[in-house]
A and B are shown apart, each in its own frame.
Chain A
């Protein structure tokens, strides 16, 4: 049981280039999330999904797109990377409908630098 995995772990992009970050979970979770974390700050929600085929905007969605074609995968795309998107990106997942609170599982992160 690998939990939540993220690909790649590191990436350097030039301004204007595009890329896709992949998140995969093997826990059959309904909910998946993409966060970004900038130095000295907490995590901020970019986009999320409440099930296969659904996506929704979070707190800081501009410049990103997402897709959830399969339940176990959640893709984050940068169409035209900007230096302001230099950050560490974390994916997370959780199950649906748990009462009494829930645990959210996080991946190890992707460090992205845009020059």
Chain B
């Protein structure tokens, strides 16, 4: 599975958009980009995933560059409850044991 690089921490003002970058320059053609987050002391929570196209759901938007070497998770209107560690993970959809390989992620602090 491709490795990812994320900034260790970011701040965002409440109500503003939070843009979390992820670099995955060695991603393969069959690898998906996943985003999870972990609010303090809780289990990780799935946010969104994508392959090539940009994706949007009720929680966030995922923007993947055309060369797929980087992506950005966008929380359109960050709230204090979005304070968490955000993990960017790339992996194939099937054909393996299916576990997720977590790095250290980005600690997002949403401030009033």
Question: B-contacting residues of A (Cβ < 8 Å)?
Answer: 4, 31, 33, 35, 40-45, 48, 50, 56, 58, 90, 92, 94, 97-109
User: A103 contacts which chain B residues (CB < 8 A)?
Assistant: 46, 49
Interface of chain B residues 71 through 107 with chain A (CB within 8 A): 87, 93-94, 97-105
Q: A58-B99, A101-B32, A101-B51 are in contact. Are A108 and B104 (CB under 8 A)?
A: no
User: B28 contacts which chain A residues (CB < 8 A)?
Assistant: none
7 residue pairs, one from A and one from B, having the closest CB atoms: A42-B102, A106-B43, A103-B46, A101-B32, A43-B102, A101-B49, A45-B99
User: B46 contacts which chain A residues (CB < 8 A)?
Assistant: 103-105
The A/B interface has a contact count, at CB < 8 Å, of 66
Q: A40-B104, A101-B93 are in contact. Are A48 and B99 (CB under 8 A)?
A: yes
Q: A104-B46, A105-B46, A108-B43 are in contact. Are A99 and B94 (CB under 8 A)?
A: yes
Instruction: Write the nearest CB–CB distance from B72 to chain A, whole angstroms.
Output: 18
Whose C-beta in chain B lies nearest to the C-beta of A90? B43
Number of interface residues of B (CB under 8 A): 24
9 A-B residue pairs with Cβ-Cβ distance under 8 Å, sorted by A, are A35-B99, A43-B102, A45-B101, A58-B99, A90-B43, A102-B98, A104-B44, A105-B46, A109-B42
User: B94 contacts which chain A residues (CB < 8 A)?
Assistant: 97-99
User: A35 contacts which chain B residues (CB < 8 A)?
Assistant: 99
- A99 CA to B2 CA, complexed, in Å: 19
Q: A99-B94, A102-B93 are in contact. Are A41 and B43 (CB under 8 A)?
A: no
User: A97 contacts which chain B residues (CB < 8 A)?
Assistant: 94
Q: A90-B44, A101-B49 are in contact. Are A56 and B104 (CB under 8 A)?
A: no
Q: Quick check: B43 and A99 within 8 Å, CB to CB?
A: no
Q: Quick check: A104 and B93 within 8 Å, CB to CB?
A: no
Instruction: Write the nearest CB–CB distance from B65 to chain A, whole angstroms.
Output: 18
Interface centre among B34, B42, B44 (most CB of A within 10 A): B44
Instruction: Write the nearest CB–CB distance from A111 to chain B, whole angstroms.
Output: 8
Knowing that A56-B97, A92-B44 are A-B contacts, what are 8 other residue pairs whose CB atoms are under 8 Å apart, sorted by A's residue number? A42-B102, A43-B44, A45-B99, A48-B97, A97-B94, A98-B93, A103-B49, A104-B44
